[in-house]
Structure 1
């Protein structure tokens, strides 16, 4: 058995590995900006690109199944005394090894391009990657089973196209049961996500059971010599689907959810106090320097905040109101590891947190103009003309009067009170 497996690995399934690996490399390395922030975005984004990788594995399996037909030895091999299951197991094992190695190899090639690979490595990353590799193996085996049942030259490309269409259509089939249907897909697609998200372990485990059931069904179909046995192959598939459905009923968030561990605060030494989410701790020195600059600018206002906290540490999980002496700032890191300038957003509205129901452009322009005034900079050319006008009116005022108006704007923004755009021009909210 081991000798046959080595032959299969050396000769028959190497092209399959190269195809899957090449497709994964092209997809991953063409979208570095989506996953460079950390391990979790890397794992999730790789699963997202299974919308192409999974159908490709399906087609590769069908192509592999037709090998004997292409060589014209199908009837000769079928007439040997060797049991069918012993003939297909080495091929299945070799195919599983190469396609899973190609999938995992794609992840490994991406690690050097992460902004930081040491600050936060959640265990769920390995689970997500492992489930993705299992899904690819199940696809290859299923493709081989279907290719054996339909040994035609068009089976492999037809399965590839059909697989892409199915994965694109799955989330859109039913608005009411979209979450349930999405679990049956190897693709993780939940709109916006970043390094602060994770995939619940129960979702990964349920999906692993589903892909194992699909792989077992494909294996039985390949090894079966009778129609009754092939019908029985649907049993594990039904059990896997039932398990996944039951798991969904107890899970309100089957896709990606906020990761509390990634959002834990890590604070810099000294004062003023500056804290960032744990997953961004590798940037703490650079973030601290910029945040303390922002706090110094806000110190021009009375009752100015003395603590700056990464807004990501409160996204999606925190419902507690923000302390009066605390200001939030966003953190954006480019794929090349550079920290974006967050001072205009940190000083927005005089350092007041954004109101959830704030829909007024006039208020936004006023908040933005106040930020540039605190920074002592004229708004850039890309800013709206109203922001320039408001900034100029503030800049022309005596410092004490300008401070009074920006403070009034900040206090109104903190309480989310009515229209406040008039405060910068001396009017009332």
Structure 2
């Protein structure tokens, strides 16, 4: 009965509604990175959960601020002394209030994911249990933030406490997020960055949180939640000081467990990335429906490449997160296709898939994504044309690179075709080696005098 009363008379329903409304406004009214390659949030349930965790950099301050507003209730109503004379232990009242506010804040967070899960189902996405730890740890972080806000509001019942705490939480959360986001200039180390519940953008559809991160954050958020609850229930200076012990213990235990580098925060989702093969042609379980379309052109492309010394013998989908600041990984015996970054391949026909495999003589670009240059792309176009007999723009990033320089590549292709067949083969082999090592100008190796 008392719990139901707290649900009605507290800020709890509004806190949960604010979390839900703000998150859905971000997801559906902004065309943010959650809609885009290489990690659209409708492709995989775990990816949806990671994007909801990303949004906690804005949602967590709302939760903390709402808790602070509710924590000031007794002081605003002038009932502190009256409640202190009652025989009922303070922790019982605190438990009902914390349960209502923290529970509905967590429910709002879970409903955001429920919407994401519905979007995954509607778009024919992939489900695996990888989203469970991502979601549970995030929920624990929401509850801990709510209880921390309740405690601070009770201890500092000033009109500026709630907005001030929300702003401080926002600044701290963004600083923590910056420590996890590649390409930024962080002010905090990674281990400090993961003390907030928000995560960086997922850089692929087949990643999930590392076990060390889940374990360390769980310990930390449990300690923070325990301190928040004990401070909410404490009635003396001594008990308030003792209430800080769980938080101190939590951070002391968690820090050695938490990942120390950005690369260790997320790991490959082994369920989604599991190989599904047809002979030498393999894709991930996430994209198993593409295996039938890839099998025939993949074998044809391997047969074309077989004339090269040390030719590749397999075609595989690359399952790791997509690096945006460096060239993709490569191997001499495997041709990697990146369906995450180059999502046009998910609907490509056999000719386009074959072209993607033989481009660069089976080797990917040596430039970072979105930074194509003429020597790299030109060399990979010409080597692809050597095997197919026709010069085409490569099916990468929508095929839009170097439109204004395609005439230059055509002229170089004409020069290359005038060479004797044995010279052409030798130069394609040398270009392949240059692309494997990312040393030298691959275009010069093709068309140098």
Q: Same fold (TM over 0.5)?
A: yes
Paired residue secondary structure (1:127): helix
Aligned to 2:408: 389
Deviations 1:238-259, CA, capped at 9 Å, x for gaps: 1101101222489996411234
**Deviation for aligned residue 1:424:** 4.1
How far, CA to CA, are the matches of 2:355 and 2:300 in structure 1?
14
1:233–1:72: structure 2 CA closer, same or farther, 3 Å change rule? closer
Counterparts of 1:194-343 in structure 2 under 5 Å?
A: 194-248=204-258, 254-268=264-278, 273-286=280-293, 288=294, 292-293=296-297, 296=300, 303=307, 307-312=314-319, 321-323=331-333, 326-332=334-340, 339=347
Paired residue secondary structure (2:204): coil
Does residue 414 of the first structure (1) align with residue 432 of the second (2)? Answer: yes
CA RMSD of aligned residues (A): 3.8
1:343–1:141: structure 2 CA closer, same or farther, 3 Å change rule? farther
1:58–1:420: structure 2 CA closer, same or farther, 3 Å change rule? closer
Structure 1 stretches of 5 or more lacking a match? none
Paired residue secondary structure (1:415): helix
Paired residue secondary structure (2:319): helix
**Deviation for aligned residue 1:168:** 1.8
**Deviation for aligned residue 1:351:** 2.5
**Deviation for aligned residue 1:352:** 3.3
| TM-score (structure 1 length as normaliser) | 0.81
1:160–1:331: structure 2 CA closer, same or farther, 3 Å change rule? same
Aligned to 2:112: 106
Aligned to 2:14: 15
How far, CA to CA, are the matches of 1:11 and 1:334 in structure 2?
52
How far, CA to CA, are the matches of 2:233 and 2:321 in structure 1?
53
**Deviation for aligned residue 1:107:** 0.7
How far, CA to CA, are the matches of 1:241 and 1:72 in structure 2?
35
Paired residue secondary structure (1:237): helix
**Deviation for aligned residue 1:54:** 1.0
Indicate which of 78, 87, 95 corresponds to 1:89: 95
| TM-score (structure 2 length as normaliser) | 0.78
How far, CA to CA, are the matches of 2:268 and 2:45 in structure 1?
15
Structure 2 stretches of 5 or more lacking a match? 180-184, 394-398
Answer whether contact 2:3 2:96 (CA < 8 A) is retained. yes
Aligned to 2:56: 50
